[in-house]
């Protein structure tokens, strides 16, 4: 699922080179057309990095695209933010907080998956969910998402994992597929210029119908609330309602920019009709609709490896004052004898490696080993379904 970041100046045509850089305003709109009812939003605009300190506000926007039921999507909606935040110390500066976010997102996704599977395994629950999860802190945007489905080069059908028949390589839940499907997300962090930006977050009900360019152009110049509805309607017009079609549009706006007014409801249908009519009349002039390259997006971090060891880094897990190890995933303090550092294993004596790299408790280490294929019951990949 592609998530385009489009400089706001390209959408509303303003010269922002001389604007004073202050905290931006965040505006959003959401739209959803349900076929199965398995997509869920997570929207929180009043989060605080330091509880009780209103100067540390940040926003969270996510779409959970469930499959084979809604249980996994609902569970992720209710727990993932808590799990991400638990992986970041509270007594750090904002710069340190931003640097810690990519790793914390990986930890939060894996921890949420472990908790969900532990909860539903006795009941035989087999639902799962993909996720696109975004944190906006002033001009910095950090996003975690799952990659697109696999597709065979020899056939139009997607590759699938059995048992379960899932055509994804990463998700939360899906206990029937096994550990061949991993919950480790692709993470990217960028810093916007003072031009601001527009972020389009959507489920595959949108991206299977529209390219990122078409989605951005279809809502150009509109307030976020109307833009989200228009993107969803454009996907419906293009492909029909074949899947849950869910969209979030988030604008990161310079604080001194006059906010685009909300369109009155009575004028909404008339405006939609006018926009679609104008689009059909001008469809031949594609060159004139290209977005300009105003504004700069600075890439701060990107990591996509599905290997947990590579994503956890080399942070020391040992508290020299207490003699206690903290698991890098579940964040539970435990005596060192109850677990191992991630570099320990059959090729490394535990005495020489027990303090190298992040520490994992016994349960989280089992999860890591299973994701790395160190457990025999690994489902096969098949493309005939």
Task: List pLDDT tens digits, range 168-202.
Answer: 788 999 888 877 788 999 999 999 998 899 999 99
Residue 352 binned pLDDT confidence (cut-offs 50, 70, 90): very low
Contacts of 112 (CB under 8 A, 6+ apart): 75, 76, 79, 80, 83, 172, 183
Instruction: Between 10 and 57, name the one with better pLDDT.
Output: 57
Task: Name the DSSP class of 345.
Answer: B
Task: Name the DSSP class of 105.
Answer: H
Task: State phi, psi for 365 to the nearest 5 degrees.
Answer: -70, -35
In the predicted structure, residue 228 carries a pLDDT above the cut 90: yes
Q: Look at residues 162, 199, 157 and name the one whose alpha carbon lies nearest to residue 29.
A: 199
> For the chain, which residues make up each domain, given as ranges?
22-253, 307-343+355-377
User: What b-and-e string marks burial along 167-197, b requiring 16 or more CB atoms within 10 Å of the CB?
Assistant: bbbbbbbbbbbbbbbbbbbbbbbbbbbbbbb
Torsion of CA 270, 271, 272, 278, to 10 degrees: 110
pLDDT digit string, tens, across residues 96-142: 999 999 999 999 999 999 999 888 866 778 899 999 999 999 999 99
Tell if the pTM clears 0.75, that is, is over it: yes
Element (H, E) at 334: strand 333-334
pLDDT digit string, tens, across residues 20-68: 568 899 999 999 888 888 999 999 999 999 999 999 999 999 999 999 8
**∠ CA 279-264-206 to the nearest 5 degrees?**
45
Residue 204 binned pLDDT confidence (cut-offs 50, 70, 90): confident
CATH number for the domain running over 22-253: 3.60.40.10
The token pair that represents 16 in the structure block: 């922002």
Q: According to the model, what pLDDT value does residue 268 have?
A: 52
pLDDT digit string, tens, across residues 355-379: 556 788 888 888 888 888 776 444 4
Q: According to the model, what pLDDT value does residue 325 have?
A: 78
Radius of gyration in angstroms for the set of CA atoms belonging to the chain, rounded to a whole number: 22
**From residue 273, how far is each of 83, 185, 219 by CA, in Å?**
44, 39, 13
Residues in the chain: 385
Contacts of 333 (CB under 8 A, 6+ apart): 319, 322, 324, 325, 326
């Amino acid at each position: 699922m592609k998530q385009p970041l489009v400089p706001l100046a390209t959408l509303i045509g303003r010269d922002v080179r001389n604007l004073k850089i202050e905290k931006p305003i965040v505006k959003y709109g959401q739209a959803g057309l349900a076929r199965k009812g398995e997509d869920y939003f997570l929207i929180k605009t009043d989060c605080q990095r330091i509880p009780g300190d209103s100067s540390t506000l940040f926003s969270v926007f996510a779409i959970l695209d469930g499959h084979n039921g809604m249980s996994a999507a609902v569970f992720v909606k209710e727990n993932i933010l808590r799990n991400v935040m638990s992986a970041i110390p509270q007594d750090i500066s904002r710069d340190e907080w931003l640097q810690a976010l990519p790793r914390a997102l990986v930890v939060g996704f894996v921890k949420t998956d472990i908790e969900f599977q532990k909860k539903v395994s006795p009941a035989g629950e087999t639902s799962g969910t993909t996720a696109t999860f975004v944190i906006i802190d002033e001009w910095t945007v950090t996003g975690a998402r799952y990659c697109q489905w696999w597709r065979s080069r020899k056939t139009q059908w997607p590759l699938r994992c059995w048992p379960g028949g899932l055509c994804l390589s990463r998700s939360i839940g899906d206990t029937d597929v096994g550990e061949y499907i991993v919950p480790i997300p692709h993470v990217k962090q960028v810093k916007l210029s003072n031009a601001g930006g527009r972020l389009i977050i959507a489920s595959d009900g949108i991206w299977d119908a529209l390219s990122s360019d078409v989605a951005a152009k279809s809502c150009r110049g509109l307030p976020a609330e109307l833009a989200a509805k228009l993107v969803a309607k454009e996907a419906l017009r293009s492909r029909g309602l074949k899947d849950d079609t869910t969209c979030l549009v988030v604008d990161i706006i310079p604080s001194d920019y006059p906010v685009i007014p909300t369109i009155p409801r009575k004028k909404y249908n008339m405006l939609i009709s006018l926009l679609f009519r104008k689009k059909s009349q001008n469809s031949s002039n594609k060159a004139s609709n290209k977005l300009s390259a105003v504004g700069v997006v600075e890439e701060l971090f990107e990591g996509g490896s599905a290997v947990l060891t590579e994503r956890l880094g080399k942070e020391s897990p040992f508290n020299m004052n207490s003699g206690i190890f903290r698991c890098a995933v579940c964040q539970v303090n435990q005596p060192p004898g109850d677990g191992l550092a991630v570099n320990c294993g059959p090729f490394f004596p535990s005495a020489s490696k027990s303090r190298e790299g992040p520490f994992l408790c016994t349960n989280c280490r089992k999860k890591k080993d299973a994701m790395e294929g160190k457990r025999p019951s690994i489902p096969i990949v098949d493309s005939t379904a």
